[in-house]
């Protein structure tokens, strides 16, 4: 019954959802972990059919749990994209085993490749580029790679973005010589202006990979600040810090409305703008995030450019 109610509600534009927001949220994706997925009785009661669901692979999570989650979500009708963090994969044989299990047991044909937030590699891989070079992802329909609109101190300790940009140029060249559909899935941010400038810079430098912009879902302000600091979110963190100094807003949950609306308005004025989709990090809970997306016109219908 919950699924039928959801579909009936989603058929019409929710009150308060602008046309720009609805268009921008079309084809949104969301991220889960096996331990959080276990707490959800049925994702079909929360997310529109066909939603792309990333499965985050945190160091220490057994591959059995990852594959089981992928299998379950696939069976429930979702487009599943597991993470492959290079620095927690011991060797080529391990990578081949993971890929074989995902494909054989869950029918997975898409993946997010990233370095992973581990200081010391567990084995022979330390970057997503090395994973791509193995050739083991041949036959996958879609491969996403990580992006950092505000830089990444782990990759560029000097505060520049030299290494990050060099890696993106390499990934663009890889996409140009293969038939895999590729896109950049980014870390979450909180301010539209630096994201717009970053996306425009990529385009100016010939990096044409579509961008799936990371958005932190509704959550307590303290929770977001904790995750933002841990994940190395840079300049736009000041948006949260300013909010924390406002006593009238300190106890209110953060919602990404202003951030998403700013990007949606820019996309409406500049249709060729590089952001193709929104990717949610449900830091305040999957149900809360899914409700916000639905209330603002979010749909899981995959855009034609992504099909």
Q: Which of 5-19, 53-67, 94-108, 170-184 has the lowest mean pLDDT?
A: 5-19
- Residue 49 CA to residue 197 CA, distance in Å, equals 33
Whether the pLDDT of residue 202 is over 60: the answer is yes
Residue 150's nearest CA partner among 97, 181, 190 is 190
Q: What per-residue confidence (pLDDT) applies to 18?
A: 75
Q: List pLDDT tens digits, range 56-99.
A: 999 999 999 999 999 999 999 999 999 999 999 999 999 999 99
Q: Are 256 and 283 in contact (CB under 8 A)?
A: no
Q: List pLDDT tens digits, range 129-165.
A: 999 999 999 999 999 999 988 766 666 566 667 788 8
H-state helical runs in 158-191 = 162-177
- Residue 119 CA to residue 115 CA, distance in Å, equals 10
Residue 19's nearest CA partner among 305, 299, 303, 280 is 299
Q: For residue 11, what pLDDT band results from cuts at 50, 70 and 90?
A: very low
Which sequence spans correspond to the domains of the chain?
Answer: 21-295
Q: What per-residue confidence (pLDDT) applies to 9?
A: 37
What is the arithmetic mean of pLDDT over 259-270? 97
Domain 21-295 is in which class? alpha beta
What is the arithmetic mean of pLDDT over 163-170? 90
């Amino acid at each position: 019954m919950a699924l039928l109610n959801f579909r009936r509600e989603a058929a019409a534009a929710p009150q308060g959802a602008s046309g720009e927001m609805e268009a921008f949220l079309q084809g949104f994706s969301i991220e889960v972990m096996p331990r959080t997925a276990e707490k959800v009785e049925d994702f079909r009661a929360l997310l529109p059919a066909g939603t792309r669901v990333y499965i985050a692979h945190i160091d220490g999570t057994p591959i059995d749990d990852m594959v089981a989650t992928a299998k379950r979500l696939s069976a429930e009708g979702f487009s599943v994209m597991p993470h492959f963090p290079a620095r927690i994969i011991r060797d080529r044989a391990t990578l081949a085993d993971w890929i074989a299990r995902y494909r054989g047991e869950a029918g997975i044909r898409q993946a997010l490749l990233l370095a992973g937030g581990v200081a010391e590699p567990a084995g022979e891989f330390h970057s997503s580029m090395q994973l791509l070079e193995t050739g083991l992802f041949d036959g996958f329909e879609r491969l996403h790679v990580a992006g950092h609109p505000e830089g990444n101190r782990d990759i560029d300790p000097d505060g520049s973005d030299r290494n990050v940009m060099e890696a993106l140029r390499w990934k663009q060249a890889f996409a140009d010589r293969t038939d895999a559909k590729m896109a950049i899935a980014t870390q979450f941010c909180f301010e539209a202006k630096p994201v717009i400038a970053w996306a425009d810079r990529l385009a100016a430098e010939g990096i044409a990979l579509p961008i799936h912009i990371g958005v932190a879902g509704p959550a307590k302000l303290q929770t977001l600040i904790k995750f933002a600091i841990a994940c190395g979110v840079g300049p736009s963190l000041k948006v949260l810090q300013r909010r924390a100094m406002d006593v009238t807003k300190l106890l209110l949950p953060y919602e990404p409305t202003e951030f998403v609306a700013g990007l949606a308005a820019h996309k409406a004025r500049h249709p060729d703008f590089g952001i193709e989709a929104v990717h949610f990090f449900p830091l305040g809970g999957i149900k809360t995030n899914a409700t916000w997306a639905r209330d603002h016109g979010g749909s899981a219908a995959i855009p034609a450019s992504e099909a």
